[in-house]
Structure 1
Amino acid sequence: MSDTTTTVSTTPSEKDQQKQFSSKDFHETFARPKFVKPSHLIHKNVERAGEHNQFSTERKHPVFFVDLPSKNVSMTIGGLLPGQLTNRHRHTYETVLYVIEGKGWTEIEGERVEWQAGDAVYIPSWAWHRHQNVSDTLPAKYIACENAPQLQNLGVALREEEGRDL
């Protein structure tokens, strides 16, 4: 019996996918973008899909998740009931709020930022913050965009509620 070796020819991208890299190999890693068709591209009638019960209960105001397959950013529709003040909390992900209706303020690390419909508010990562609807009769509504999924996929997304998680 003869000793034979079979060689399988692969393209460079297949070789790169098969190799396990370490820190010393950083110069050998090359991005190879590839389009992967997601399960869906639209979430119609977000609010009609219903409130996310866990988050609505925890945050004490209605929260509607936009169910899209992004691995890096999330979007929710949040509401503040008339006169409502949320608990102070912080998280490792950044948030941008876009106010759809109402007036109120967001306190970020002790600084009060007043907002109304049409305004956008930036909340840096790990900053203590809370929100207040200043109307006693009208609700406030906002869209929140966050990089939470990206940090969750990396295993570093954290959230703390003042008085509960400390």
Structure 2
Amino acid sequence: MANTELTPETEIRTAIHDEQKAFSSKDFHKTYARPVFVKPSHLVHRNVENAGEHNQFSTERKHPVFFVDLPSKNVSMTIGGLLPGQLTNKHRHTYETVLYVLEGKGYTEVEGEKVEWQKGDAVYIPSWAWHCHQNMSDTEPAKYIACENAPQLQNLGVALREEEGRDL
């Protein structure tokens, strides 16, 4: 159980945090950087895939998606997969993505450029680039880790995702 006793240092951090929440545009000159460690709720998500697929995203993306549940406010990580022969819908988003391929072989088309990948490769998908993914095997699934700065943009209110045929 966490220690809930307020030390003088904690009281100062709390006062600074409360004061910062109250800033408005007239207080711009008071917004000095004051890094403060805030202990997150947890630092590890064990057995990610055993927690189960994220039903909404798996259904929407038409392939399994497993969220890594960590309290980051700036980056997210998911485990995704492509079924044998699967081609995803073309889509784009305002956040960047880095894919790291865990297994399989396929390609990602980024703004018309076909980038082939296989186990051990990393692929960069720039912000707002139309792209889709294809598993080139008709018998084996492909699996990857996707790291994105979506939470950062969601917290700023500017995260957007469009899927060709659904949104356009």
TM-score, normalised via structure 1 length: 0.88
- Looking at structure 2, the residues matched to 18 and 75 of structure 1 have their Cα atoms a distance apart, in angstroms, of 28
Q: Is 125-134 or 24-33 further displaced after alignment?
A: 24-33
Q: Give the gaps of 5 or more residues in structure 2.
A: 1-11
Aligned residue for 1:96, secondary structure, equals: strand
**1:55-74 aligned within 5 A:** 55-74=57-76
1:20 maps to what in 2? 23
* Aligned residue among 81, 89, 92 for 1:90: 92
- Looking at structure 1, the residues matched to 84 and 48 of structure 2 have their Cα atoms a distance apart, in angstroms, of 22
1:152 maps to what in 2? 154
TM-score, normalised via structure 2 length: 0.87
**1:130-145 aligned within 5 A:** 130-145=132-147
1:7 maps to what in 2? none
- Looking at structure 2, the residues matched to 142 and 29 of structure 1 have their Cα atoms a distance apart, in angstroms, of 40
1:108 maps to what in 2? 110
2:33 maps to what in 1? 31
Per-residue CA shift, 1:109-150, capped at 9, x if unaligned?
Answer: 000000000000000011000000000111000000000000
8 Å CA contact retained: 1:16, 1:29: no
- Looking at structure 2, the residues matched to 129 and 85 of structure 1 have their Cα atoms a distance apart, in angstroms, of 11
8 Å CA contact retained: 2:20, 2:31: no
**Percent identity among equivalent residues?**
84
Aligned residue for 1:54, secondary structure, equals: helix
Aligned residue for 1:138, secondary structure, equals: coil
Question: How many residues get paired?
Answer: 156
- Looking at structure 2, the residues matched to 95 and 144 of structure 1 have their Cα atoms a distance apart, in angstroms, of 6
The alpha-carbon distance between structure 1 residues 90 and 15, as it changes in their structure 2 partners (threshold 3 A), is closer
